[in-house]
Amino acid sequence: MVMSSKGMNSITRLTLVIVLAAQSAEAAPRPADDPTAVAPPASRGELMLHLEDALQLAMKENRNLLLSRSEVAISEAQLRGARERPNPVVSASTSRIHVDRFGDATSLGNDFWSRSYDTIIQGGQLVEVGGKRSARRRSAAASVDAARARYADIRRTLEADLVRAYVGVALAEAEVRIARQSAGYLGDEARIASLRLKAGDISRSDLDQIEIAAARLEIEAEGAEAEAGARRTALEVLLGVQRPGGDVVVLDSLDTLADRSNVAPEGPTGGDRADLLASRAELRKAENELSLQRALRIPDPTILFQLEHNPPDRSNTVGAGVSFLLPLWNRNGGAIRAAEAARDEAEWALHRAEAQVVADVTVARTSYAEASARWRRYRDELRPRSAEVREAVSLAYEKGGASLLDLLEAQRNDNDVRLATMQAASAAAVAAADLKTASETAAMENTHP
């Protein structure tokens, strides 16, 4: 069988393209296949944290948590003040001091205590009646309970917020890597396509389309890097970093974070959620404030004792008395009405908190089940199949067995599937944290008034 010189030239060109393409593929650096692999940039790394390390740091340095601790300290100080009794009042006065030339000497002498001055020493003690002091103490104790419950609630929600921020950084960085990997794949295809263009097997427009697609992915990678920087800064704010600058490095990959969520969080083990405890304490406080305002309608007497020294005759006398406010013009009606409204508001807030707890747990369980199943399906089924299809179409295109449209479509689909896989892993990790937060309970004893 004799072949024409034209057929020999076509075979030679195709052979040359295949050989050069293989050499180019071997020599070109291929991006890592795992978009979740963590490789901290050399320019960052001042704060490199696993998720557990980030949680521990936030529990110590988060500003909202520190402010809540101060509120607890303030409420405890107010309780101490509510437990204290009112101090007595002492007054002293001297009168009937003559300024003429006759002076104030008496038969007893001319010293200060013997002169005819009228000296009065008076003491008074306010006595709270009608249950005011006990109501004030109970209100202050409820304030302490509410402050402590709010502190526990901030700790509860802080973990979910931190997981969401940490996972957000990991997802943004995975999106950067996926875009750059896809751009790298297309870069390899562009190098092979340039060889095929020289051999006359493809048109210039085919090479241009591959290069444009690779450039678009590079631009997407730059945008994702900017988003990752913003998310790193937000994470540093939660961590309590003094000067957030986007330098934190997350060391856990999305697959690791999603695996961490594979164990379903335990349900409530006893007690109530911290926000519910805070609402109940606020209701107790409002009820005691109402009792206090009602008790203020009863005037508090002030017991008086007096010692009077007025020489020379019967120079020392004592006296006693009582004083109190006369409720003639008002009986504290405005304050009582305001306290009643505050009590009703606290009661409705408690009912809302009870309903919110049930709703949060129900929604969190549903979201966790869906997110976990979606992530496992992407990880175990779709991502491996998409990678196989991309590699098969790429190999076929390099050998001339697939069109440019097939190549770009396979690359775009694989890029979308890898992004969706990372987003599913992120959603699974966040859903697990949300379920744990929604179900977490706290057991607290009421503070003694």
pLDDT in tens, 133-179: 999 999 999 999 999 999 999 999 999 999 999 999 999 888 888 88
The string of pLDDT tens digits covering residues 289-303 is: 999 999 999 999 999
pTM of the entire structure? 0.76
- Asked whether residue 340 carries a pLDDT value surpassing 80, the answer given is yes
Residue 284's pLDDT is 95
The rounded distance, in Å, linking the Cα atoms of 389 and 41 is 31
Question: Scanning the structure block, which residue is given the tokens 């992120």?
Answer: 426
Q: Find the range with the poorest average confidence among 33-47, 320-334, 340-354.
A: 33-47
In angstroms, the first-to-last Cα distance of the chain is 109
Q: Find the range with the poorest average confidence among 200-214, 227-241, 303-317.
A: 200-214
The stretch 28-48 carries a mean pLDDT of 51
The stretch 188-215 carries a mean pLDDT of 77
- Percentage of the chain beyond pLDDT 90 is 48
Q: Find the range with the poorest average confidence among 83-92, 172-181, 256-265, 403-412.
A: 256-265
What's the number of CA atoms in the CB half-sphere (13 Å) around residue 62? Answer: 22
Phi and psi at residue 326, in whole multiples of 5°? -90, 115
Residue 399's pLDDT is 79
Q: Find the range with the poorest average confidence among 95-99, 160-164, 271-275, 323-327.
A: 95-99
- Asked whether residue 393 carries a pLDDT value surpassing 60, the answer given is yes
Rounded to 10 deg, the angle between the 333-377 and 404-439 helix axes is: 140
Residue 261's pLDDT is 64
- Asked whether residue 233 carries a pLDDT value surpassing 80, the answer given is yes
Residue 179's pLDDT is 82
Residue 237's pLDDT is 92
Q: In sequence order, what are the beta bridge partners of 119?
A: 94, 309
Categorize the per-residue pLDDT at 269 as very low, low, confident or very high, splitting at 50, 70 and 90.
low
Residue 142's pLDDT is 96
Residue 116's pLDDT is 82
Residue 133's pLDDT is 92
Categorize the per-residue pLDDT at 267 as very low, low, confident or very high, splitting at 50, 70 and 90.
low
- Asked whether residue 2 carries a pLDDT value surpassing 80, the answer given is no
More confident residue, 330 or 405: 330
SS3 306: strand
More confident residue, 271 or 352: 352
More confident residue, 126 or 42: 126
- Asked whether residue 363 carries a pLDDT value surpassing 70, the answer given is yes
- Asked whether residue 266 carries a pLDDT value surpassing 50, the answer given is yes
- Asked whether residue 23 carries a pLDDT value surpassing 90, the answer given is no
- Residues 6+ away with beta carbon under 8 Å from 332: 293, 294, 296, 297
| Domains defined along the chain, listed by start | 59-82+151-269+334-449 (1.20.1600.10)
Task: Note whether 421 and 379 are within 8 A (CB).
Answer: yes
Task: Give the C-alpha distances (Å, rounded to integers) separating 371 from 239, 254, 260, 430.
Answer: 26, 14, 13, 9
Task: Give the C-alpha distances (Å, rounded to integers) separating 444 from 135, 188, 218.
Answer: 21, 62, 54
The rounded distance, in Å, linking the Cα atoms of 397 and 395 is 5
The stretch 279-289 carries a mean pLDDT of 95
Residue 26's pLDDT is 40
The stretch 216-221 carries a mean pLDDT of 84
Q: Find the range with the poorest average confidence among 77-81, 215-219, 299-303, 431-435.
A: 215-219
Residue 107's pLDDT is 75
More confident residue, 99 or 64: 64
Categorize the per-residue pLDDT at 10 as very low, low, confident or very high, splitting at 50, 70 and 90.
very low
